[in-house]
Amino acid sequence: MTHPFRKTTVAMADGRELIHFDDTEPWLSGERVRSAVDHRPLPPADETLRGGSQVRFDPLTGDWIAMASHRNDRTLMPPPDQDPLAPTVPGGFPTEIADSSYDVVAFENRFPSFSNRIGGQAGFLDGEELWPTRPAAGRCEVVCFTSDTRGSFATLTPHRARTVLEAWIDRTEALNATEGVEQVFVFENRGEEIGVTLPHPHGQIYGYPFVTPRTATMLRRAREHREATGRNLFRDVLDAERRAGDRVVLSTEHFTAYVPAAARWPVEVHLAPHRDVPDLAALTDAERADLVGAYLDLLGRLDRYYPDDHPMPYIAGWFQAPAHEGREEFRLHLQVFSVQRGPGKVKFLAGSESAMAAWINDTTPEKVAARLREVSQ
């Protein structure tokens, strides 16, 4: 059965777009409609962002690097009564969400790395052809999972988690169709150890104006594999992990989670569908329902991995096919990983990893997978 929700789009005080995804009454049935007005005295986003971000080409790596100096002024760990992602209560701090309650919302980031509001022309830094530049077009959105001020995706009910998934799907489809967007990345950062600046349960979506370096590398490898074997690399990796079995963490009707054979991080798990699909939007209703249970199960195991009460810090990112290329070669999958290498211990990306991108893991994938199987409920 299709998951019911109601989508409503409203304007914020500075003209940015905010989208409600309601899964509770009276909003779900339309008995009440979202009509709260954002009264904050904000200057128009088109003015504040114009000429803001720029991407510059690195001739040594072929990477595009975003320069977004305005993000240095973004909100950092505000006091609880000034949570910008909480609902706006009468007489209280005016937040990004004008309503006094909400279910799930997505909105344009006030401090985006990429935005189609930036404008400007492509050119060359200092007139040198070595350094092409162009406006950092695209879009960055925030997705608030709940109006509760504490928690994460892992603490959501299955019903609410499904609504968040539907919001991700909606935004993936919309951003894939947005001019200038080449790749959509859905992700959640959790924990101060990761660098989270707002504790409110939320994630982000980036619509990049280029195919990211990591994706470009995977696409190149996938194309080489297809030329050599005639098969899909992502499919072969999943099949090989399922055959080996000792790195598999869990398996459902439609998904398998495993610790990759060459894991980089102290704790790293990939979650992949059994069917070849390019992105979240291509999942069937049955696959979406199954995904919610598998993902919540996996995140629960991560929180029980270490024998302490501290939730595991992690980055969870959905790797999806680019909007316009590689959609036959690429395959949807989740990568969730943590810098925590032990209770109270964090792996720092020092010389080898940061300078040379040469990774050294302090454990083995087989040990990590065995522990994650051990802490199932």
Instruction: Render pLDDT for 191-247 as a digit per residue (tens, 0 to 9).
Output: 888 888 888 999 999 999 999 999 999 999 999 999 999 999 999 999 999 999 999
pLDDT at 1: 65
Instruction: Note the helical H segments in the chain.
Output: 45-49, 158-176, 213-229, 233-244, 285-303, 356, 365-374
Q: Distance (Å, rounded) from C-alpha 212 to C-alpha 214? A: 6
Mean pLDDT of 148-167: 96
pTM to 2 decimals?
0.96
pLDDT digits (tens, 9 = 90+) for 161-201: 999 999 999 999 999 999 999 999 999 999 888 888 888 99
Q: What value does the mean pLDDT of the chain take?
A: 95
Query: In the numeric block, which tokens belong to residue 44?
Result: 């128009």
Mean pLDDT of 15-25: 98
Active site residues: 202
CA 134 to chain centre: 24
- Give, in order, the Cα–Cα distances in Å from 177 to each of 138, 139, 182, 183, 364: 11, 12, 9, 10, 41
Q: Rounded to 5, what percent of the chain is helix, strand, coil?
A: 30, 25, 50
Q: In the predicted model, is pLDDT for residue 360 greater than 90?
A: yes
Roughly what angle, to the nearest 10 degrees, separates helices 233-244 and 213-229? Answer: 80
Q: In the predicted model, is pLDDT for residue 77 greater than 80?
A: no
Residue 7 pairs in a beta bridge with: 21
- Give, in order, the Cα–Cα distances in Å from 279 to each of 2, 187, 318: 18, 14, 9
Taken in order 350, 356, 190, 341, the sign of the CA dihedral is negative
Identify which of 293, 30, 23 has the alpha carbon closest to the alpha carbon of residue 167. 23
- Give, in order, the Cα–Cα distances in Å from 377 to each of 59, 291, 301, 303: 50, 17, 8, 12
For the chain, list the domains and their CATH numbers. 6-209 (3.30.428.10), 214-375 (3.30.428.10)
pLDDT at 73: 67
- Give, in order, the Cα–Cα distances in Å from 76 to each of 170, 190, 192: 29, 14, 11
